[in-house]
Amino acid sequence: MKFGKKMSRIGQKPIRIPEDVTVEVKADEVKVTGPKGSLVQKIKPQVRVEINQNQVKVKRLANDKLSRSLHGLTRSLIANMISGVQTEFSKTLEIVGTGYRAKLEGQKLILSLGFSHPVEWEPPTGVKVEIEDNNLIKIIGADKSLVGQAAADIRAFRPPDPYKGKGIRYQDEQIKLKPGKAGKAGAAGLAGGSEG
């Protein structure tokens, strides 16, 4: 319940439209265009989107729980669209492991991850990939959710190993490593020795 109220408070805030961005509302969709591309978002019937001078306002048409949550969600989605077409979103993945690396062939991402064959991944429309130092993969795009999903898909090819940390991780991700079997056996041996 509190979440719905919080989201609807967010929903009441107008969104400023930057000079290099245009916002159009047509029936049940909003189209946002800027220097980095165009995005379209369907709008649920519980809310209405209005443009007044250089601001976008989202209004809810009822006060039930669903309408309140859609109010805030719609406002957040449009704000993200405006940010995305103006400056783009990005996520960086880091490949950790001896011999693990990434390269690009055209826009196709080729990953060497210790398997018997390289993994190939084609970015969806609206997503660009850049490689730095063979082990950093930068995913860039105007659509925040698309960038996040692309990063999650790439990470899933080889999630970090819980014992050695090898694999693909988000650049700022902290991996909690488990002690290996050898470490556990050594600890047990020390405990046994102290009793004697």
Coarse DSSP helix, strand, coil percentages of the chain, rounded to the nearest 5 percent:
30, 35, 35
- For residues 193 and 161, which has the higher predicted lDDT (pLDDT)? 161
Inter-residue contact 34 to 88 (CB < 8 Å): no
- Final residue of a structural domain among 87, 106, 128: 87
**Domain shared by 69 and 101, yes or no:** no
Place of tokens 């961005």: 21
Q: How confident is the model at residue 11 (pLDDT cuts 50, 70, 90)?
A: confident
Domain residue limits at 162: 89-170
70 and 117 co-located in one domain: no
- Using the 3D structure, point to which of 87, 111, 140 is the last residue of a domain: 87
Angstrom CA distances, 59 to 19, 53, 79, 182, stand at: 23, 16, 14, 61
Enter the pTM of the model: 0.79
* Residue 180 located in a structural domain: no
Residues 7 and 79 in one domain: yes
User: Please, is 90 exposed, middle or buried when counting C-beta atoms within 10 Å of its C-beta (0-12, 13-18, 19+)?
Assistant: middle
- The domain boundary residue, chosen from 64, 87, 110: 87
Residue 181 has pLDDT above 70, yes or no: no
- CATH no. for residue 110? 3.90.930.12
Confidence of residue 165 (pLDDT cuts 50, 70, 90): confident
Are 94 and 79 in the same domain? no
Same domain, 106 and 128: yes
- The answer on 60 and 106 residing in a single domain is no
Number of structural domains in the chain: 2
pLDDT mean across residues, the chain: 88
Residue 126 located in a structural domain: yes
Answer yes or no: do 81 and 94 share one domain: no
pLDDT in tens, 47-87: 999 998 899 999 999 888 998 889 999 999 999 999 999 99
- Say if residue 99 is in the same domain as residue 67: no
Q: What is the mean pLDDT of residues 27-34?
A: 94
The answer as to whether 163 is a domain residue is yes
Residue 166 lies in a domain: yes
Question: Does residue 133 belong to any structural domain of this protein?
Answer: yes
Let me know whether 7 and 83 are in one domain: yes
